[in-house]
Amino acid sequence: MKTEDQPPQNLWIDRLNTAEALSVMIKNHSYAFDAVNLALEDIERTVDQISNILKKSNKGRIIYVGAGTSARIGVQDGAELYPTFGWSKERVKYIIAGGENALVEAIEGAEDYLDNVKNIIEKLKITKFDIVIALSASGNTPFTNKVINILKSKKALTISITNNNHQLITKNTDIGIVLDTGYEIIAGSTRLKAGTAQKICLNLITSLVMCKLGYVKSGLMINMIKSNKKLIVRGDKIKKLLNKNNI
């Protein structure tokens, strides 16, 4: 797997001074954008299919699946759908290796624990109106792959987002998005540009889905949740702009 490859010797940041190391890291992170750009065709197909399915039911959910860093990135994306767009909290679910505790501390062994996967899926009662987004930098995370294998019989749209080519999870999902970010500047540490690419990809997908579902008008968050003073002011500004433009 490319994400596990050791970087070239001239890029070993532990042997560079701070300025040199920062320059190398920034350049290496820029490849995340290139990887997403190369996957735009699959991302476009993903946006359109998700939108079409969610338009058919007011109960369809977006379900994120992952372990470790990938799980945390999925939760970060899903948690923002309610305050940003007013998307119901009940329409966002998570299947996380190690459960909620894995969001605030590293439980690395959780991705190998598969005994409870079937029970987790059965409790969610997944239907053909649900969207399952599985994130795995390596593409071979046992927990995430087990979830996808079980879901083959559930008729839900399954999407995988990985950072390595030719992995089993890509073949087993309806749409496989490969963000080929290559080696990490610290070998195997996919919280770096692999994670950055995953976050960019999710930003694109869910933001455009919300646009297609009518939660954005003229670049404005028309259903945002005004939960604090700052957001009340923002909400009032949005309302004035909508009225001004007769939207």
Q: Is 122 a catalytic residue?
A: no
Catalytic residue, from 4, 44, 80, 105: name it: 80
Distance, CA of 147 to CA of 114 (rounded, Å): 9
Distance, CA of 197 to CA of 88 (rounded, Å): 26
Distance, CA of 14 to CA of 8 (rounded, Å): 12
What amino acid occupies position 99? G
Catalytic residue, from 4, 100, 105, 111: name it: 111
Q: How many CB atoms lie within 10 A of CB 92?
A: 20
Distance, CA of 81 to CA of 213 (rounded, Å): 13
Question: Going by C-beta distance under 8 Å and a sequence separation of 6 or more, which residues neighbour residue 149?
Answer: 172
> Angle at CA 162, nearest 5°, toward 156 and 168?
70
Q: Is 111 a catalytic residue?
A: yes
What amino acid occupies position 91? R
**How remote is the C-alpha of 12 from its chain's centroid?**
29
Catalytic positions: 80, 111
